Amino acid sequence: MNDIDSAPAEKALPPAGLFKRLFAMLYDSLLVLAIIMLGTALAIALRVWFSGADIAVNDPDTAAHGLLFQAWLLFLGCGFFVYFWRRTGQTLGMQAWRLKICNSDGSLISIKQCFLRLLGGVLSWLCLGLGYWQIAFRSDGASWSDLLSDSRCAQLPKR
């Protein structure tokens, strides 16, 4: 089924609940951690390859201390979510819990909306999860990420 056929059906889906979203986030955080570990290993291997010498662990010039390295890890973490949200509307954790990010008309979100969702997620966690706890008290089940990006997290039906 393509996105055009599924869009009207996804428009009528109920919003995802708080605990399913949190469990999907936990699952995805493990995947992002694994990606960051691989990205770190790659950065260190490239540093050793191009420098031609061993890198001292306590050396402040190692790849793990540089601004470029931190930007690389941020790119990997954000890239995981942007890739999956733009491709299918679901990360791997969201697939496990049958959740999908979409616009109110059921279409996939834009790249700008992806980054606004990420910003909303960071702000929500910086406020001790307040942006997510409000899901339980709002009739539309919207989080700060949903409101900031003008998108929604829908609960897909069981197959």
* pLDDT tens by residue, 57-115: 556 555 556 888 999 999 999 999 999 999 999 999 999 999 999 999 999 999 999 99
Dist CA 2 CA 48 (whole Å):
46
Residue 147 lies in a domain: yes
Residue 4 falls inside a structural domain: no
Domain total of the chain: 1
What 3-state class would DSSP assign to 128?
coil
Q: Is residue 6 part of a domain?
A: no
- Flag whether 83 is in a domain: yes
Closest CA relative to residue 16, chosen from 105, 138, 159, 130: 138
Query: At residue 1, does pLDDT exceed 70?
Result: no
Contact 86, 109 (CB under 8 A): yes
Range of the domain at 34: 13-155
Q: Are 15 and 153 in contact (CB under 8 A)?
A: yes
Q: Which ranges of 52-110 does DSSP label H, i.e. alpha helix?
A: 67-87, 92-96
